[in-house]
Structure 1
Amino acid sequence: MRRRAPLRRPALARTAPFLSALAATALLLTACGTEHAGTGNTGAGTAESPSPVQVDDPGKDGVRITSLTLPSTSPPTSPSPPTSPSPTRSYSVSADSLDPGADSGIMATYEVTNKGTETLTYWVVFTFMSGDGAAVAAQSATVRDVGPGKTVRGRVQVGELPPAAPRVTQAKVLEVTKVPASEAPADPGTCPASGIRVSADKGDAAMGLRVVGLHLDNCGTRDYTVEGYPLLELLDSDLKPVDGIKILDGSNEISTGAGPDNQPRPVTLSPGESAIASLVWRNTTESGTPVNAPYVRVRAKAGADPVTVTPHLDLGTTGKLGVRPWEKAER
């Protein structure tokens, strides 16, 4: 059975956290109007107190770096940057490797300007690079509730770097994702007023088959029941509806490689319980123009508040997306 599930967006919604940064820690910034935020972890690993240098950064989607603070001297263990470009070489820092008492002394200040007409929440990934342009580290920031015409300022700090990492000399805005603030994700460990938290995982890809899980958590105090399939609206990079894609009940028409489709049935979640549904598609590209839908607006069921997640659907020219029904997740 095939269906289209058009949605009308209400004034208030919640969505679950998205964004996985390339590196270690994430800076969380909640702000309205113009505001400044710090990151901590300052000064422990530098030989001298560095001064910020102004950066002429055109930025991306209203986000730009305004200054970059670098150590006055290179760490003794850092090799000299190679003289020829090495675009494939990169370094990253895991959260487990960070020493909260150590600091590379590298910090960028940034500003987010909302040039739109509605309040937005932003997720930003910043990349810090060596002189030859190779990525050395990345950090992410969540900037909430930026009103129309407003600017929010903050900073991201690299923290500790591996001893073999080359010296950072530049930084840029790598990626910007933004959604209406009324549909923005709840912070980790928090619960929306609805008592229901929706999120999308990072997914799995093999031989062109893509599977992304939608997660529904009852973080409230009452039972919550869903039945059947989540209702979806596919959105482009401007948060406009994507047309021409068939949203299918089940995934068998896409592939049997994701496992059999179970029949939809009522699922009642007690507080603390979760359910999962899956999006299944192929990114095959043949004749025609490939379709990408970076955003998906989700309703857990009819009448539920919409939640915008960012699975970045690369649908190729297949023209269809399979949706598997809600099932209770194992604890």
Structure 2
Amino acid sequence: MTNQEAEPLTYTIRFSLRDDRGRAMSNTEETVASVGAGKTVRRTLEPGGYPADGMLDAGRVRILGVDRVPSDEAPAPVGSCPASGLRLTADQGDAAMGLRVVGLHLENCGSRAYALEGYPVVQLIDAEHRPVDGVEILRGTDGIPMAGGDGGPPRPVTLRPGESAVSGLAWRNTTEFGEAVNVPYVRVRAEAGSAPVMVAPHLDLGTTGELGVRAWQKDETAPDGGTGESGSGRPGAQGPYGRPSSS
């Protein structure tokens, strides 16, 4: 992995591992943290038990995609806690009948209580890390068809150590007249003034020009006050675990 940019970047590479007949057996991710400007890092991909015969060579690996974010906004390793005491994550989301929902999760991994109220602050970012214009960021998802209600106005949330809050991004990928908009990255702040976190949910916004953002709520679904990273931003919903990020 070679960083050709002028700042340190953290890379996440998504691989598909194939068997001896070329069939996809599993997908996996590898993160290469803090590659300095102009630097090259080489690593060996471990099979992790796939393919079933234990053999892994270049012919059995396909690169599905590469995400890159500034290292000072990059995901915190699983099990670590940023200096702020807050860990912000985005899951891989849910998709059904044109509706897309990606959950945002805020874990208090520090030693003191943290209070917030309202909505995450989000900025859409393109593949070259430039702001994406022309998409309206809505407070709430009432205006997104089939996204469901938001359960009333924002309420104060206090997170004790080990507790989490959940928000979410919702949109429809309807494509009609005009050029479809695809947004690989979203820069997220837990609230105004918080440190930014760049996540890579790959939003296929179609031509709707709208993205709804849910207010923070206490995550009552997380077991033992954990991160709740398996949800999709819908209170009580369960979905796939996604890529973590720190704030």
Which letter maps to 2:36? G
CA-atom RMSD, angstroms? 2.1
The answer for the alignment partner of 1:178 in structure 2 is 68
Q: Report the CA distance between 1:157 and its aligned residue.
A: 1.6
Q: Is 1:310 equivalent to 2:200 in the alignment?
A: yes
The answer for the alignment partner of 2:238 in structure 1 is none
Q: Report the CA distance between 1:226 and its aligned residue.
A: 1.1
Q: Report the CA distance between 1:154 and its aligned residue.
A: 0.9
Distance change (3 Å), C-alpha of 1:139 and 1:207: closer
Q: Report the CA distance between 1:135 and its aligned residue.
A: 2.9
The answer for the alignment partner of 1:263 in structure 2 is 153
Select which of 113, 116, 139 maps to 2:2. Answer: 113
Q: Report the CA distance between 1:276 and its aligned residue.
A: 0.6
Distance 2:72 2:110 in 1: 19
Q: Is 1:209 equivalent to 2:130 in the alignment?
A: no
Q: Is the 8 A contact 2:186 2:198 kept in 1?
A: yes
Distance change (3 Å), C-alpha of 1:231 and 1:161: closer
The answer for the alignment partner of 1:242 in structure 2 is 132
Which letter maps to 2:46? Q
Distance change (3 Å), C-alpha of 1:167 and 1:239: closer
SS at match of 1:154: coil
Q: TM-score, normalised by structure 1?
A: 0.62
The answer for the alignment partner of 2:169 in structure 1 is 279
The answer for the alignment partner of 2:117 in structure 1 is 227
The answer for the alignment partner of 1:139 in structure 2 is 28
Distance 2:53 2:82 in 1: 43
Q: Report the CA distance between 1:260 and its aligned residue.
A: 3.8
Q: TM-score, normalised by structure 2?
A: 0.82
Which letter maps to 1:321? L
Select which of 213, 217, 226 maps to 1:327. Answer: 217
Q: Is 1:126 equivalent to 2:9 in the alignment?
A: no
Distance change (3 Å), C-alpha of 1:132 and 1:120: same
Which letter maps to 1:144? A
Q: Is the 8 A contact 2:18 2:51 kept in 1?
A: no
Distance 1:179 1:273 in 2: 27
Distance change (3 Å), C-alpha of 1:166 and 1:120: closer
- For the pair shown, the structure with the greater C-alpha radius of gyration is 1
Distance 1:258 1:315 in 2: 18
Q: Report the CA distance between 1:162 and its aligned residue.
A: 6.1
Q: Is 1:198 equivalent to 2:88 in the alignment?
A: yes
Distance 2:58 2:26 in 1: 12
Distance change (3 Å), C-alpha of 1:247 and 1:169: closer
Q: Report the CA distance between 1:136 and its aligned residue.
A: 4.0
Q: Which runs of 5+ in 1 are unaligned?
A: 1-111
Q: Report the CA distance between 1:239 and its aligned residue.
A: 1.4
Distance 2:77 2:219 in 1: 21
Distance 2:137 2:74 in 1: 24
Q: Is the 8 A contact 1:250 1:325 kept in 2?
A: yes
Q: State, as a whole percentage, how many aligned pairs show the same letter.
A: 55
Which letter maps to 2:31? T
Q: Which runs of 5+ in 2 are unaligned?
A: 223-247
Q: Report the CA distance between 1:138 and its aligned residue.
A: 3.9
Matched pairs, number:
220
Distance 2:138 2:74 in 1: 26
Which letter maps to 1:187? P
Q: Is 1:158 equivalent to 2:47 in the alignment?
A: yes
Distance 2:47 2:80 in 1: 26
Higher alpha-carbon deviation: 144-153 or 155-164: 155-164
